């Protein structure tokens, strides 16, 4: 009997130890290249939805996760549409709706904030706490500086011993106001750039003086994306009118800089330059920078040795690229860290369900139902007005008849 009890105790202890080891491995949150020497990143930009999200967005997200089988998911800002969510409960539900498919698959994820995430009045800091409640969340609030969520993640070799690659995550802010330029999209502030340059130099020192190849992920692009475009006459096929200080001109892709992808709308960077792109060049570590923000752009370009890549929006609540709503897969290689492959995973290619109607696919459910509601309201007002006018006329006729 004692032997039997001892055996049971041994089994229970063994199970407990195994569970402890598993929990420890999950809690470690270390990123490593896989056995093939690859590391796959799925970029999800501008889901930008509410507490009751669009079914097509969730289908696209799930299909992307299943096809890409990523080692890391990056939520590239505007995860929620803050202006349409006015409560903490609604904000958390909207975040949970996006994170749930990722968490259910046990995939680690990181996040940066966009200009709309906190517009409903729920702070980025509180939202970051909610993200951090998920075991797979690798994002952190970061050091005391402008923004929330300035941090970096290192990727080690397959043995988990040496740092091979680095990922920067930057809060690109919301909006800025200056007397000269008025309201514009925000730029990355000087204290953020000082932090980046300091940390980049420290990583290089740890790497024998050589910069560690790195990606940057931030929501709003840098103004230098316009240097990859060509100014053309108004009316040129495929031309888009610039945004902000660039709005006096029309632009198309310059093939000298952009090799692939679409320019479906004017890029919307800040009007002012804070020197972020120059800081990247000085540090010498940035292989590529990935942006969201512009929902129908998915161009891939290169300027001064730094790739700059846009990703179309995933969400259907706000405007989007129709059948080209998508996510972006990026594959890194341990054997050649400065080289990578990237491709868009479009709704039309990976989701079996049909798109919603043209207006929702293009302009978003928010505007579609908003316009529909306005039309219905107008119809009600007109109907009521007609009824009132008819009754008034009848009353006047009845009064005239009595006078006779």
Residue-wise pLDDT tens digits, 329-358 = 999 999 999 999 999 999 999 999 999 899
pLDDT in tens, 2-14: 344 444 334 333 3
Give the model confidence (pLDDT) of 43-73 as tens digits. Answer: 999 999 999 999 999 999 999 999 999 999 9
Give, for 133, the enclosing helix (H) or strand (E). Answer: none
pLDDT number for residue 386: 76
Contact at 8 Å (CB) between 268 and 304?
no
Stretch 321-336: mean pLDDT, rounded?
98
Could you tell me if residue 128 is inside a domain? yes
Query: Are 149 and 218 contained in the same domain?
Result: yes
Write down the H helix ranges in 269-350.
276-283, 347-350
φ, ψ of residue 178 to 5 degrees: the values are: -135, 155
Question: Residue 367's pLDDT band (boundaries 50, 70, 90)?
Answer: confident
Q: Check whether residue 252 and residue 395 sit in a common domain.
A: no
Is residue 13 one of the residues assigned to a domain?
A: no
pLDDT of residue 19 exceeding 50, the answer is: no
- Please give the C-alpha separations between residue 187 and each of 128, 151, 331, in angstroms, as whole numbers: 21, 17, 28
Task: Output helix, strand, coil percentages for the chain, rounded to the nearest 5.
Answer: 40, 25, 40
Pick 178 or 48 by higher pLDDT.
48
Direct distance between the N- and C-terminal alpha carbons of the chain, in angstroms, rounded to an integer: 116
User: Do β-strands 300-303 and 326-333 pair in parallel, antiparallel, or remain unpaired?
Assistant: unpaired
Q: What is the pLDDT at residue 45?
A: 99
Predicted model pTM: 0.87
Q: Is 74 within the bounds of a domain?
A: yes
Dump strand ranges (E) for 60-169. Answer: 72-76, 109-112, 151-156, 163-169
Shared domain for 174 and 249, answered yes or no, is yes
Looking at the fold, whether 350 and 392 belong to one and the same domain comes out as no
Is position 1 within any domain? no
Q: Quick one: 281 and 386 in the same domain?
A: no
pLDDT at 384 over 90: no
251 plus 389 within the same structural domain: no
Q: Which residue has the higher pLDDT, 322 or 371?
A: 322
Predicted pLDDT at 6: 43
Answer whether residue 118 is part of any domain: yes
In this prediction, residue 390 carries a pLDDT of 76
Query: Domain check: are 266 and 380 in the same one?
Result: no
Name the domain count of the chain: 2
Q: Provide the CATH number for the domain around residue 68.
A: 3.60.21.10
CB 28 within 8 A of CB 108: no
Question: How many CA atoms does the CB half-sphere of 201 hold within 13 Å?
Answer: 8
Find the length of the chain: 404
pLDDT band at 392 (very low <50, low <70, confident <90, very high): confident
Indicate if 244 and 391 belong to the same structural domain.
no
Q: Quote the domain boundaries for residue 383.
A: 365-399
Same domain, 284 and 342: yes
Distance from C-alpha of 241 to C-alpha of 326, rounded to nearest angstrom:
24
Ramachandran region of residue 244, left (φ > 0), alpha (ψ -120 to 50) or beta? left
Element (H, E) at 327: strand 326-333
Q: How far apart are CA 296 and CA 247, in angstroms?
A: 18
Query: What is the rounded average pLDDT of the residues 172-185?
Result: 88
Q: What is the average pLDDT across 187-203?
A: 98
Both 55 and 194 in one domain: the answer is yes
Strands, E assignment, 37-105: 38-44, 72-76
Q: Does any domain span residue 334? A: yes
- For the CA atoms of 358, 364, 365, 368, the dihedral, rounded to the nearest 10 degrees, stands at -70
Q: What is the mean pLDDT of residues 28-57?
A: 94
When pLDDT is cut at 50, 70 and 90, the band that residue 375 belongs to is low
In this structure, are residues 216 and 276 in contact, taking their beta carbons and an 8 Å threshold? no
Q: Residue 197: pLDDT above 80?
A: yes
Q: How many helices (H) and strands (E) does the chain have?
A: 9, 18
Q: Is the model's pLDDT at 212 over the cut of 70? A: yes
Whether residues 129 and 221 share a domain: the answer is yes
Position 8 in a domain = no
Q: Is the domain of 175 the same as that of 36?
A: yes
Is 99:109 a contact under the CB 8 Å cutoff? yes
Per-residue pLDDT for 152 more than 80? yes
Q: Does 11 map to a domain?
A: no
In this prediction, what percent of the chain has a pLDDT beyond 70?
A: 89
**What would the pLDDT profile of 65-118 be if each residue is shown by its tens digit?**
999 999 999 999 999 999 999 899 999 999 999 999 999 999 999 999 999 999
């Amino acid at each position: 009997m004692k032997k039997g009890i001892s055996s049971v105790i041994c089994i229970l202890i063994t199970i407990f130890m195994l569970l402890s080891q598993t929990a420890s491995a999950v809690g470690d949150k270390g990123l490593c290249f896989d056995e093939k020497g690859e590391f796959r990143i799925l970029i999800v930009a501008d889901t930008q939805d509410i507490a009751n999200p669009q079914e097509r967005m969730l289908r696209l997200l799930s299909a992307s996760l299943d096809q890409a089988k990523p080692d890391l998911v990056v939520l590239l800002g505007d995860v929620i549409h803050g202006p349409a969510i006015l409560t903490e409960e609604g904000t958390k539900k909207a975040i949970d709706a996006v994170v749930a498919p990722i968490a259910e698959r046990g995939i680690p994820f990181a996040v940066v904030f966009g200009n709309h995430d906190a517009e409903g009045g729920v702070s980025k800091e509180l939202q970051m706490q909610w993200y951090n409640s998920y075991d797979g969340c690798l994002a952190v609030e970061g050091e005391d500086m402008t923004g929330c969520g300035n941090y970096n993640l290192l990727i080690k070799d397959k043995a988990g011993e040496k740092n091979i690659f680095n990922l920067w995550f930057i809060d690109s802010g919301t909006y800025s106001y200056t007397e000269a330029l008025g309201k514009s999209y925000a730029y990355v502030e000087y204290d953020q750039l000082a932090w980046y340059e300091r940390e980049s130099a420290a990583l290089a020192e740890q790497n024998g003086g050589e910069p560690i190849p790195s990606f940057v992920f931030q929501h709003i692009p840098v103004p230098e994306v316009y240097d990859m475009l060509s100014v053309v006459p108004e009316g040129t096929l495929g031309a888009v009118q610039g945004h902000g200080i660039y709005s006096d001109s029309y632009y198309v892709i310059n093939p000298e800089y952009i090799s692939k992808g679409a320019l479906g709308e004017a890029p919307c960077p800040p009007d002012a330059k804070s020197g972020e792109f120059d800081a990247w060049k000085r540090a010498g570590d940035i292989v590529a920078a990935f942006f969201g923000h512009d929902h129908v752009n998915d161009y891939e370009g290169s300027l001064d040795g730094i790739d700059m890549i846009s990703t179309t929006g995933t969400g259907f609540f706000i405007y989007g690229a129709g059948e080209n709503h998508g996510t972006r897969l990026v594959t890194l290689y341990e054997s050649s860290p400065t080289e990578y492959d990237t491709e868009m995973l479009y709704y039309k290619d990976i989701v079996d369900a049909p798109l919603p109607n043209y207006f929702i696919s293009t302009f978003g459910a928010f505007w579609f139902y908003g316009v529909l509601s306005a039309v219905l309201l107008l119809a009600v007002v007109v109907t009521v007005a007609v009824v009132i006018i008819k009754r008034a006329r009848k009353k006047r006729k009845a009064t005239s008849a009595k006078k006779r």
